[in-house]
A and B are shown apart, each in its own frame.
Chain A
Amino acid sequence: MTTAATVDAVPVSERGPAPRRVIVGYGFWLFLLSDIIVFSAFFAAYAVLAGRTAGGPGGVQLFDRGRVLAETGCLLFSSFACAMMSVAAELRQRGWMVLGAALTFALGAAFLGLELAEFAGMLARGDGPGRSAFLSAFFALVGLHGLHVATGLGWLLVMLAQVFTLGWRPRVAGRLACFALFWHALDIVWIGVFTIVYLGAH
């Protein structure tokens, strides 16, 4: 532990540039925060327009809480599988990493399937985004989150392909860490969605 003690004795300002992992993580963190600010504009639009149903159905008539709970569970366990995938990737255990990635992907796809089924049902009843300002804001906000999830699923497939073809290069490992950050941030946005849109419906 002598090295650890000497490293700790050096003040932060004199340790030189931070490792690449920290810098890349910080840059990606800034991207995630700006993405969350984009989401905040959609949340603001939804909050303003939530009551403007133009005589059409409101949230209470449209939303099925059981389905939303299932969607939330899918994303939450997907986040957990993603965390396990990150641990396996740090240990360079490809088998476990693939298992974690497969679970992450399957649960994310299940979430997307549930959401698309909800959208399809609403569209079939004529309650599409053109029905009222409330539904425009609803489809914009929830659809934007769904698009992010779909993008994340594509990214995960690309990362799996890179791990198999390029192996555990530092860059591949860094990208995988960024994917994990992205996936967990989407779950944070979903907390806002299910609280404000689905549970806050009146």
Chain B
Amino acid sequence: MDEHGVRRQQATDHETPGESPDWRSGLVKALLGLAASLVLTLASFWAAGTPLVWGPGVPVLLAALAIGQMGVHLVFFLHVSSGPESTNTILALAFGTFVVALVVFGSIIIMANLDAGMCGMHGSPSCHA
């Protein structure tokens, strides 16, 4: 509340206002983003090579870490927030995510079905049943 008020007042003072026109908050935000991203990246590379995680669970863990890191980037570097200025941004992001999911999973499902219907390709044995 108070922070928003301060930011908005500064926004009226400056000619072309920025998100947070002081060194400390900008630096702290970027450092937090960097630290979180480093931890998540190293965790991803660790998870991909470790024998400690059950094999079939590794892709799920990798996906979770990647989505987490994308969230960190959105919040700390792209400055997507819960403030009123971000409402449209978040709506567009939700729609973009929806389209991306449609394209990726739709393609995978359709191509897998087509592939299963193709006879004599890739040595698929279950054709002449």
| CB–CB A18/B85 < 8 A | yes
| CB–CB A195/B78 < 8 A | no
Chain B interface mostly: helix
| CB–CB A40/B103 < 8 A | yes
- Residues of chain B within 8 A of A1, CB atoms compared: 2, 5-6, 9
| CB–CB B17/A79 < 8 A | no
Among candidates B1, B2, B26, B45, residue contacting A87 with C-beta atoms closer than 8 Å: B26
User: Is the C-beta of A124 less than 8 angstroms from some C-beta in chain B?
Assistant: no
- Residues of chain B within 8 A of A22, CB atoms compared: 85
When chains A and B are docked, how far (Å) is the Cα of A12 from the Cα of B12?
A: 16
User: Is the C-beta of B82 less than 8 angstroms from some C-beta in chain A?
Assistant: no
In the complex formed, the residue of B with least CB distance to A180 is: B77
| CB–CB A7/B30 < 8 A | no
Task: Count residues of B near A (Cβ-Cβ below 8 Å).
Answer: 62
Q: A-B pairs with the 6 shortest C-beta distances?
A: A90-B18, A4-B5, A87-B26, A44-B107, A33-B96, A83-B30
| CB–CB B73/A191 < 8 A | yes
| CB–CB A47/B104 < 8 A | yes
Among candidates B33, B63, B78, B122, residue contacting A80 with C-beta atoms closer than 8 Å: B33
In the complex formed, the residue of B with least CB distance to A201 is: B48
User: Is the C-beta of B53 less than 8 angstroms from some C-beta in chain A?
Assistant: no
- Residues of chain A within 8 A of B17, CB atoms compared: 19, 21
User: Is the C-beta of B27 less than 8 angstroms from some C-beta in chain A?
Assistant: yes
Would you list 23 pairs from A and B whose C-beta atoms are within 8 A, ordered by A residue?
A1-B2, A3-B9, A3-B12, A8-B5, A8-B8, A29-B92, A37-B96, A40-B99, A44-B104, A44-B107, A48-B107, A73-B41, A80-B30, A83-B77, A86-B26, A87-B18, A90-B20, A185-B78, A188-B74, A192-B66, A195-B62, A195-B65, A199-B47
